[in-house]
């Protein structure tokens, strides 16, 4: 299985987005984290199915 990691800046952006969603509605931040985790798992299972955006960086959209 492919290892997926986040750069520190990317992790801060994910956390900031989750906080923003949580301010909009309680529980929405956790839903956002859940979707991010689902995307990470999909990349881990089949990395060849995702477009490489930068060296060693794949997008799940």
pLDDT in tens, 6-53: 889 999 999 999 999 999 999 999 999 999 999 999 988 988 888 777
- The residues facing 57 across adjacent strands are 54
Note the pLDDT of residue 28: 98
Pairwise CA distance, residues 50 & 60, whole Å: 6
Note the pLDDT of residue 56: 63
Backbone conformation region of residue 60, classed left if phi is above 0, alpha if psi is from -120 to 50, else beta: alpha
Q: How would you label 33-53 residue by residue, b for 16+ Cβ within 10 Å and e otherwise?
A: beeeeebeeebeeeeeebeee
Structural domain count of the chain: 1
Note the pLDDT of residue 42: 92
Query: Is 3 domain-assigned?
Result: no
Domain that holds residue 53: 8-58
Helices 8-24 and 28-45: crossing angle in degrees, nearest 10, is 140
Query: Is 1 domain-assigned?
Result: no
Query: Is 28 domain-assigned?
Result: yes
pTM score, two decimals? 0.79
Note the pLDDT of residue 36: 96
Query: Is 29 domain-assigned?
Result: yes
């Amino acid at each position: 299985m492919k290892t997926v990691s986040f750069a520190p800046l990317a992790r801060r952006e994910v956390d900031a987005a989750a906080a923003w969603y949580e301010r909009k509605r309680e529980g929405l931040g956790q839903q956002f984290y859940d979707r991010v985790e689902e995307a990470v798992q999909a990349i881990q299972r089949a990395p060849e199915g995702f477009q490489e955006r930068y060296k060693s960086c794949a997008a799940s959209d």
